[in-house]
Amino acid sequence: MEYFLDKKHGKFGFSAAENPALKIRPGTGERIGFETSDEVYAQLHEFRDMEKLTVGINPVTGPVYVEGAQPGDALAVTIHEIRLKDRGWSVSLPGSGALRHVMGEDMFTRRVPIDNDGVHVTDRHVLAPRPMIGCIGTAPAEGVNSTIMPSTPQGGNMDLVQCAPGSTVYLPVMVEGAYLSIGDIHAIMAEGESSFVAIEAEGIAVVSIDVVKGLALRAPRVETADEWIFVGLGDPVQESVTRGYEDMFHFLVTDRGWDRGDAYAVMSAVGHSQLGGPTGSTDPDPLHPFTAVGAVTIHRLPKSVLAPEEAAGSES
């Protein structure tokens, strides 16, 4: 990699008010390593008490200022590899996640070794790692976006398993320079993240960055080897689903020149929808900061329905 940002550059928000940790030219193919921190989980394991924490939850490393990125453009962030370290964590935060009622008020924590055999989730369950980036985003036009919840049109803590090596994440640019930050690496995570905390892990995400001029996105999207994935954000969940499907439709009709009826029929046949991460799409009640409002959904279009010139590359 050509550049490395260590975890000392961790911040607890996405903001253009932060001094850039790095300035880069897009489209060079140069690779940047973003080291992330697991210190909060180590402290929760040691203290089992939120009140004793000396660090914040979910820092993101950065920001990176991307030369030439302007409002109305999109960043294309290609994830080349994620290097895990020797441990992960399984933690229950009282009052959070779909299992909050069955886990109760006692904090559960477990150190999860990671080695050449895999991720040692239990004494008898050693799973192959599937590393991914939980939190990736650009700065909003004003103010600060959370690194915990909700997910926003600029990204954030989306917790999508598709943000993995081999994928390209497209993020709206709202301010000059974009101010990209990355954090919250997971060693492995079930889709939907039932616990609100996956097998969290410290690691290094290695990415390269390009700018797609004039691609004005209202929500992130992810390109994998086989699919285009459109993120829906809305409250209630039906609105999130509608917005994600609308973006898929516009991708086919506006960006790819499809007939409206063809797009409608193909989406009806193979445009799959499912829940994304559990972080919601609207600011939570301050009295219940881990209770999601609204929904993150994903909408998956197989590249097999696209002509070769439509499926290849970015949004050019």
- Where is 311: in which H helix or E strand? helix 308-311
Mean pLDDT across 275-304: 93
pLDDT in tens, 297-310: 999 999 999 998 88
23 or 96, greater pLDDT: 23
Q: What percent of the chain has pLDDT over 70?
A: 98
Model confidence over 214-267: pLDDT tens digits? 999 999 999 999 999 999 999 999 999 999 999 999 999 999 999 999 999 999
Residue 12 and residue 171 in contact, taking contact as beta carbons nearer than 8 Å: no
β-strand pairing of 272-275 with 295-302: antiparallel
- Reduced to 3 states, what is the DSSP secondary structure of residue 265? helix
CA distance 230 to 246: 9
Residue 182 near residue 136 (C-beta atoms within 8 A):
yes
223/287: higher pLDDT? 223
Find the range with the poorest average confidence among 95-99, 136-140, 281-285: 95-99
* Residue type at 126 in one-letter notation: V
* Whether pLDDT at 91 is above 90: yes
On whether the CB atoms of residues 65 and 19 are closer than 8 A, the answer is no
Apex 35 CA angle, 147 and 79, nearest 5 = 85
Q: Is the pLDDT of residue 25 over 90?
A: yes
Portion of the chain with pLDDT greater than 90, in percent: 88
- Measuring CA to CA, how many Å separate 6 from each of 10, 266, 281? 8, 45, 29
**Structure tokens belonging to residue 171:** 């993020």
Is the pLDDT assigned to residue 175 strictly greater than 70?
A: yes
Residue 16 burial (CB count, 10 A): 20
Is 50 exceeded by the pLDDT of residue 8? Answer: yes
Query: Where does 210-253 have alpha helices with state H?
Result: 237-250
> Could you tell me the end-to-end alpha-carbon distance of the chain, in angstroms, rounded to an integer?
26
Band of residue 108 on the pLDDT scale cut at 50, 70, 90: very high
Q: How far apart are CA 302 and CA 316, in angstroms?
A: 19
Q: How far apart are CA 303 and CA 81, in angstroms?
A: 22
Half-sphere exposure of 111 (CA within 13 A, CB side): 10
Tokens of 262: 């063809």
182-203 mean pLDDT = 93
pLDDT at res. 288: 85
Tokens 């973006």 belong to 247
What pTM was computed for the model? 0.95
The answer on pLDDT for 316 being more than 60 is: no
